[in-house]
Every structure is written in structure tokens, then in C-alpha cells.
Amino acid sequence: EDGFSTTSKIQRDRLLGGLLSAGFDEESCLSRYQSVLYRKDTGRLPSAYLVEKLREHEALQRKCGPNTVYYKKALKQLKSGQGIETADCNYLVWISYNGLGNRILTGASAFLYALLTNRVLLIDRGADMANLFCEPFPGTSWLLPLDFPVDQFRGFNISTPTSYGNMVKNKLLNNNAGHSTVESLPAYIYLHLDHDYGDYDKLFFCEDDQKVLEKIPWLILHSDNYFVPALFLIPSYEDELHRLFPEKDTVFHHLGRYLYHPTNRIWGLITRYYQSYLAKADERLGIQIRVFDSGTDQHVFDQILTCSFNKKLLPFISPQENIAPITNVRSKAVLMTSLSSGYYEKLRNMYWEHPTANGEIISVYQPSSEAYQQTEKQTHNMKAWAEMYLLSLTDELVTSAWSTFGYVAQGLGGLKPWIMFKPANKTMPDPPCQQVISMEPCFHAPPFYDCKAKRGADTGALVPHVKHCEDVSWGLKLV
């Protein structure tokens, strides 16, 4: 190969096939262009159309973002409470909450919705969003300016009268045929898409309702769900989504790697850990343990072992006290993540106290054991983010059912994990685990409604690429 094409190939790889913009100062966010040195090439390239749309969207974020004349104008109009038929710039404000995995998945969903509807995405920075993630759009900020009247919106919930669901329910908005009956449109609408949302809120996922929302310059979104699969059920977005994602199982893989780059401090946590414990092994296995009760349960440990042995992810131990051959043995590093240290200690001791049956050397590591979820504590979320990212750098992955923490790791890494089913009655499920059909996250609280027929429906059976999840039977995922 000649020098020129080698250089351009390196450039292309660094930018993940054009997914990333070249327009950033590298030093300000080292992870953005260095991740390629740590992550195996998954071979899943973004479509040329997605790349084009991302560059267009970046231009929109710059044109309408904080501190621009358009932003100032739109903010003034929001404060006036009056809607207008055509605004220069339309906005989606995402108020983040809940665990970090949930937040990462919801943010990607909000971004896809913003991309589809040409809205500027601005995020509520909360306690730590700015410390965890680099800016995704060059030359502007996605952080909602501090002078935005966000406090007014943060407490919004299912009963807030200005939510889309409540306005339709109370006939303040008519969603028939896309015509609003209110004389003057509201300046904003609140979208309540939390896990506890109601049937009227779920009309968000219907085409006619989307036509009403199109006319509202400000949408304020409160959600903790990966609602992407339901966007694929809205006929008016079908063509565009197909062009953006000809490979439907790569939506979060691409959007996650586009949006979420660990800040330099977290990149330090990730790279130091990787180099110290994972880099030298021949293979890396990630095991993500998410149990919803504290303590260490034997049936969970049995499940981890049975799954890993059955799927040949870990070698059996030998009853003999043989001495393993000392040259040319394969080594495997196991990266465990869990809130408790019990499972890690058990696994590590098992491979210390016994030789492996095949002579393989197994090293077991766990970066932290934080005991319980502490969402408001900064170093806690930094570690959680570093660990999700480290899991995404492994070669094979075992995850726990129901956990968005695991979904983020699998999606970023382009991995199809073996997912361990949720134990019931303190017994190990049979089978203990199953490989997922696609790396996409699961939408845990989808609508069950056929918008055209106006009656309940199995939304996992409407189109071939939206199916039910392996771990949450009523959930939806792209395949």
C-alpha cells in the first residue's frame, strides 16, 4: 500500500468511518480519537447517509445553540408563553435523571428523535453530565444554558397539566388528523416518557400526534428509557430511519459512539486500568453482575459459573493439584463489575486455589465495589462510566438481565453478550443465560398500541426488525 492510502485509512479508522467529526481539538477530549486504539474493529460502519446527516445536524446545533441570536429569540418566545407557527429553530430539551446507564440510553434516543425532527438537542447538565461526557457537537455546546428556566420543568411528572398526554386527555389539544384546535399553540409541550407513563403519553409514538408536536418550538422531555425501537414503528419516520440505519441492529452502536466520549479524567481511569490489568492477556472476558438485592447469593454465583462453563467462556478447574505448564499458556483476563465484591472474590479465589483443566491462566479483576447506587455522587458515576466503558473493550461479555449498565457496554463494544436471566425464588434459572440476537438495548416500557387501528396490539409483531427482548419479555428491541 502506498503512504497516502495508508494515511487516509488511519484517518478513516480514527473517525470511525466518518462517524466522528474531525473538527475538534484532540487534547480537550483524548478519548474521542484514541478509543480506536483500545476497541476491536467491529466492522460495522455508519451509512454514508448517517454521516451526512450528522454533519448537517452539527451545523444546526451551531446555528441555533446557546448564545446565538436564534437561541435568544427562541428563549424569549418561550418565556412569553406564546407559540408561533414557524420558528427559525426548534428545540428538544432533555432533562436527565436516573442511573447512568439509563441516562446514556435515553440521551441517544433523544438525539435520534432530534435528528429525525430537525430539533436542536440541549441537555440539562444535572450534577455531573459535563464532568462525565465531552461535548459531542463541534463549535457549540449541548448543555442547556444556566439561565434557562429549567427549575420550572425539573419537577414535572405524570400529572403535569402541560404534558402532551394530559393536554390530549383534557381536550386542550386535538390530535385528530394533525390539527390542533387551540387558537394559539403553546410555546412548549412537556413530554412525559418516563417508565411510569400512561396511555395518553404513549400517543407520542403515533404518526398523527407527531404532526401536532412538529408545530411546537420547544419540547421538554423527561424520560429514562431507550425509546428508539418505538420510533421505528412510526410510519412517517420509516424511510428516513431505513436510510440512516440500513443495519437496524447498529443504532445505539453508532449513536453511542458518536455522542458519548469520556472526559480526560475518566479516560485516565479507563486507560490506566486497561493497561495495568487487561492489555497483556490473550483474551478479555467481561462479566457484569447486576443484582437487585444486596449480599452474595450462591445461586447467582452458580449461574455465573454455569453460564461461563457451558458457553466455554471460562475453563473448568481441575481436581488434581497439577502444576500447569509454564510456557506458551494462554491467559485470559476477567473483568468483573458489580456493586458488591463477593462474586469477584469467589471467582478469583477459585482460580487461585485450583489449577484450570486446560492450563489456561485466569486473572480476575474488579475495579470498584461501591455497595449501593449513589447517583448524586460524582466519583461514583465516574467509576460507573469507566466500568461500562471497560466492559465494552472486552472480547466477550456476560451481562445481567434488565440492566441498562450492561446494554451500554454491549452497544458501545459492538458485542452480543450472553445475558443471564433474572433468578426467581432464589434459584438459578434454567438455562442460566442465552446469547442475545442483537447488540441493541431493550426498551423496557414500550407502548402496546396500534395507532392506525386505535386499539391494543403486540408492538413486537408489527415489523420484522422490532422484536421482544430476551430478558424482558414485553420489552422491544431492534434486531
| 405 in contact with ligand GDP (CB under 6 A) | yes
| 341 in contact with ligand GDP (CB under 6 A) | no
CA nearest 197: which of 153, 158, 230? 158
| 140 in contact with ligand GDP (CB under 6 A) | no
| 163 in contact with ligand GDP (CB under 6 A) | no
Considering only 180, 404, 410, 438, the residue that binds ligand GDP (CB under 6 A) is 404
Cell numbers at 195, concatenated: 417508565
Binding part of the chain for ligand GDP, among 12-20, 163-171, 250-258, 397-405 by CB under 6 A, reads 397-405
| 373 in contact with ligand GDP (CB under 6 A) | yes
Binding part of the chain for ligand GDP, among 60-68, 80-88, 367-375, 413-421 by CB under 6 A, reads 367-375
Cell numbers at 423, concatenated: 433468578
Nearer to ligand GDP among residue 21 and residue 98 (C-beta): 98
Q: Binders of ligand GDP among 301-340, rule CB under 6 A? A: 337-339
- What distance in Å separates the CA atoms of residue 77 and residue 84, rounded to the nearest whole number? 9
Least Å from the CB of residue 76 to ligand GDP: 36
- What distance in Å separates the CA atoms of residue 303 and residue 188, rounded to the nearest whole number? 49
Least Å from the CB of residue 368 to ligand GDP: 5
Considering only 29, 173, 384, 409, the residue that binds ligand GDP (CB under 6 A) is 384
| 368 in contact with ligand GDP (CB under 6 A) | yes
* 8 Å CB contact between 31 and 267: yes
Four-CA torsion 121, 133, 245, 467, nearest 10 degrees: -100
Q: Binders of ligand GDP among 50-109, rule CB under 6 A? A: 98-102
Least Å from the CB of residue 336 to ligand GDP: 8
Element (H, E) at 391: helix 378-392
Tell me, by CB under 6 A, how many residues bind ligand GDP.
21
Nearer to ligand GDP among residue 90 and residue 337 (C-beta): 337
Secondary structure in 3-state letters for 64-77: HCCCCHHHHHHHHH
Nearer to ligand GDP among residue 195 and residue 299 (C-beta): 195
Least Å from the CB of residue 388 to ligand GDP: 7
- What distance in Å separates the CA atoms of residue 390 and residue 110, rounded to the nearest whole number? 25
CA distances from 169 to 82, 156, 201, 230 (A): 21, 17, 9, 21
Nearer to ligand GDP among residue 32 and residue 383 (C-beta): 383
Cell numbers at 13, concatenated: 479508522
Residue 39 DSSP label: S
- What distance in Å separates the CA atoms of residue 63 and residue 213, rounded to the nearest whole number? 22
Nearer to ligand GDP among residue 53 and residue 346 (C-beta): 346
Binding part of the chain for ligand GDP, among 80-88, 195-203, 293-301, 369-377 by CB under 6 A, reads 369-377
> Is the C-alpha dihedral spanning 10, 11, 16, 18 positive or negative?
negative
* 8 Å CB contact between 183 and 214: no
Concatenate the DSSP letters of all residues of 169-227 into one string: HTTSS--GGG---SSS-BSEEEEEESTT--TTGGGGGSHHHHHHHTT-SEEEEEE-S--
Nearer to ligand GDP among residue 167 and residue 388 (C-beta): 388
| 128 in contact with ligand GDP (CB under 6 A) | no
Least Å from the CB of residue 272 to ligand GDP: 16
* 8 Å CB contact between 133 and 381: no
| 215 in contact with ligand GDP (CB under 6 A) | no
- Which spans of this chain sit near ligand GDP (rule: CB under 6 A)? 98-102, 290, 337-339, 368, 370, 373, 375, 380-381, 383-384, 387, 403-405
